[in-house]
């Protein structure tokens, strides 16, 4: 017999221990070849004063096994506890969040009988880098970071996932009509990498209309890949409209480690009563089995689970008179799945997983073209409350360094000087763009000289962004207006 695959298991809080027991019983009865290392995480760890909610020994186990099956935990109210999920995701570099959203019509109620969508969400970047600043009395900012390696990894993952799972189409959601550089990069990388997969259909939607179409006609979507924020919101929308939040599992995949969990929480009010539905965690465990190369066991478990749902054996949360046949508790539901191992569903679509092969998602290739980067100016941000845009423009026009001169001032991105409109509402946060003549290169010390003069003139300079051309193309957005 092949060597057992070690996995780290956390039983969590609330309904966690019950649904984890049910899940492990099912996958072990199906022949999962695993060696379990149990770790303690969650409420008890938090209350013992461990601010991450995870024992140091748990990290050692995770680094050893690289596979984490995690039950939901309870985050104690108040007290500034750190989110275990965010910590785990960042510490282990889990860049992809994969959430299949499937409807099980007519056995589980849904408005969308034909839905089988997989949301693949970038998990580390975008507005979730957690880089926020208050800059003036009135203005706060959050930095949106989209990187080429981050985009390449998630997009390649989405195409590889589609190929490995016999999916026909990958859709990309972005807002690059507004965020031309950041979301523009994500879109560009999608087109570049998509061209390497001629067998897969590709499409891109602006996220607003894309989201509306997803909510209205999810049957038209297959795999959808998106940056972090849109993915966070839309993966919940998709799971909800499939009718099965309590049935959905998710995978968090990294280059070395992976974490699998249900999408619901620890439902403390249902704990200890043999009521909870273990399906979300079980379907997460199915993804885990595929991930560790036990696709055949995963297939057996999923098909037996589909047959159980189809036979009308339902926990309270999905039980409906007239559709369901038997209302069961957590343990009886697990027993029913175990009894059906080896069976395949008759009405619901059976699955057949194939072993996935690891791929290199990002290569820091030395043959990559490195663009020529030229400093051509600086956006100087000021906290200023002393007058009109014309007053500010008049005062700053007198300050220069070499050819660096004031060209335009904007407030919240709208041009207010020169020739601004009196109707434009202004806050105390001003962006003053200084550039040289005709895109000429500027020595960096010239920028420092300029900033020194601005500060010496009594302005409150809160931050600056250098303006670069990359191979002659602007690496900054134009000013509106
Ligand atoms: P929840 O998902 O735990 O529960 C909401 C409701 O959904 C429950 O009252 C219950 O009626 C139902 N429900 C959820 N899962 C079910 C299941 N498996 N079977 C049957 N019914 C189920 O959300 P909540 O009440 O907002 O959060 C409770 C706790 O869980 C909080 O402490 C929260 O921080 C935590 N939480 C943890 C995770 C995680 O560990 N990944 C995720 C979300 C919430």
Average pLDDT, the chain: 94
Kindly tell me if the per-residue pLDDT of 457 is higher than 80: yes
Domains annotated on the chain, with CATH: 1-98+243-351 (3.40.718.10), 111-241 (3.40.718.10), 373-474 (3.30.70.1570)
Tell me the per-residue pLDDT of 157-189, one tens digit each, with 9 for 90 and over. Answer: 999 999 988 899 999 999 999 999 999 999 999
pLDDT at 77: 81
Question: What residues contact 404, with CB distance under 8 A and at least 6 apart?
Answer: 377, 378, 434, 435, 436, 442, 446, 447, 450
Q: Is 42 in the pocket of ligand 1 (CB under 6 A)?
A: no
Q: Is 249 in the pocket of ligand 1 (CB under 6 A)?
A: no
Q: Per DSSP, which regions of 263-303 are E strands?
A: none
Q: Is 264 in the pocket of ligand 1 (CB under 6 A)?
A: yes
Report the number of secondary-structure helices (H) and strands (E) in the chain: 13, 20
Residue nearest to atom 27 of ligand 1 (CA): 265
Cα 182 to ligand 1 centre (Å): 34
Nearest-10 Cα torsion for 160, 166, 167, 172 = 10
CB 438 within 8 A of CB 148: no
The residue with tokens 């980067």 is 373
pLDDT at 90: 83
Query: Which secondary-structure segment (H or E) carries 456?
Result: helix 444-456
Considering the chain, what percentage of its residues have pLDDT values greater than 90? Answer: 85
pLDDT at 22: 98
Cis peptide bond upstream of 418, omega within 30: yes
Kindly tell me if the per-residue pLDDT of 24 is higher than 80: yes
Supply φ then ψ for residue 289, to 5 degrees.
-65, -40
Q: Is 53 in the pocket of ligand 1 (CB under 6 A)?
A: no
pLDDT at 52: 85
Rounded to the nearest 5 percent, the helix, strand and coil shares of the chain are 35, 25, 40
Q: Is 84 in the pocket of ligand 1 (CB under 6 A)?
A: no
pLDDT at 357: 65
The CA distance from 326 to 312, in Å, is 6
Exposed, middle or buried by CB within 10 Å (0-12, 13-18, 19+), for 82?
middle
Cα 119 to ligand 1 centre (Å): 21
This prediction has a pTM of 0.92
The β-bridge relationship of strands 249-253 and 132-134 is unpaired
pLDDT at 360: 61
The CA distance from 377 to 337, in Å, is 65
Tell me the per-residue pLDDT of 354-396, one tens digit each, with 9 for 90 and over. Answer: 876 666 666 667 778 899 999 999 999 999 998 999 999 999 9
The β-bridge relationship of strands 34-39 and 5-10 is parallel
Question: What residues contact 102, with CB distance under 8 A and at least 6 apart?
Answer: 115, 116, 117, 242, 244
Average pLDDT over residues 146-151: 95
Exposed, middle or buried by CB within 10 Å (0-12, 13-18, 19+), for 198?
exposed
The β-bridge relationship of strands 116-122 and 373-383 is unpaired
Average pLDDT over residues 9-38: 98
Average pLDDT over residues 250-264: 94
């Amino acid at each position: 017999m092949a060597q057992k695959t070690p996995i780290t298991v956390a039983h969590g809080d609330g309904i966690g221990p019950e649904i984890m027991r049910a899940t492990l019983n099912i996958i072990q009865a199906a022949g999962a070849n695993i060696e379990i290392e149990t770790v303690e995480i969650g409420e008890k760890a938090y209350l013992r004063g461990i601010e991450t909610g995870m024992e140091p020994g748990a990290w050692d186990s995770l680094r050893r096994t690289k596979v984490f099956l995690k039950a939901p935990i309870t985050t104690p109210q108040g007290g500034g506890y750190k989110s275990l999920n965010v910590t785990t995701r960042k510490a282990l570099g889990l860049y992809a969040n994969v959430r299949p959203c499937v409807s099980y019509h007519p056995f589980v109620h849904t408005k969308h009988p034909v839905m089988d969508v997989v949301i693949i969400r970038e998990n580390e970047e975008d507005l979730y880098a957690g880089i926020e600043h208050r800059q003036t009395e009135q203005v706060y900012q959050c930095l949106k970071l989209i990187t080429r390696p981050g985009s390449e990894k998630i997009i390649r993952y989405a195409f590889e996932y589609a190929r490995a799972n016999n999916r026909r189409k990958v859709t990309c959601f972005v807002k690059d009509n507004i965020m031309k550089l950041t979301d523009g990069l994500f879109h560009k990388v999608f087109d570049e990498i998509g061209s390497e997969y001629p067998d897969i259909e590709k499409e891109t939607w602006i996220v607003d209309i894309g989201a509306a179409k997803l909510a209205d006609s999810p049957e038209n979507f297959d795999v959808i890949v998106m940056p972090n924020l849109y993915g966070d919101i839309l993966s919940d929308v998709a799971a909800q409209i499939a009718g099965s939040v309590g049935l959905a599992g998710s995978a968090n995949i990294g280059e070395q480690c992976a974490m699998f969990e249900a999408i619901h929480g620890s439902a403390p009010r249902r704990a200890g009563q043999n009521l909870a539905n273990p399906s979300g965690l079980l379907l997460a465990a199915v993804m885990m089995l595929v991930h560790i190369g036990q696709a055949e066991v995963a297939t057996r478990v999923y098909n037996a689970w589909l047959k159980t749902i189809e036979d009308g054996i339902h926990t309270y949360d999905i039980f409906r008179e007239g559709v369901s046949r038997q209302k069961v508790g957590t343990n009886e539901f697990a027993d029913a799945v175990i009894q059906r191992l080896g069976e395949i569903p008759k009405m619901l679509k059976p699955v057949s997983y194939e072993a996935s092969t690891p791929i290199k998602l990002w290569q820091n290739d030395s043959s990559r073209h490195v663009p020529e980067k030229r400093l051509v100016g600086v956006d100087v941000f000021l906290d200023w409350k002393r007058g009109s845009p014309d007053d500010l423009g008049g005062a700053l026009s007198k300050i220069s360094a070499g050819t660096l001169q004031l060209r335009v001032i904007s407030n919240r991105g709208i041009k207010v000087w020169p020739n601004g409109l009196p109707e434009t509402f202004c806050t105390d946060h001003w962006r003053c763009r200084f550039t040289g003549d005709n895109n000429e290169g500027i020595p960096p010390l010239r920028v420092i000289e300029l900033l020194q003069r601005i500060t010496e003139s009594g302005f409150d300079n809160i931050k600056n962004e250098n303006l670069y051309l990359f191979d002659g193309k602007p690496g900054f957005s134009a000013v509106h207006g």
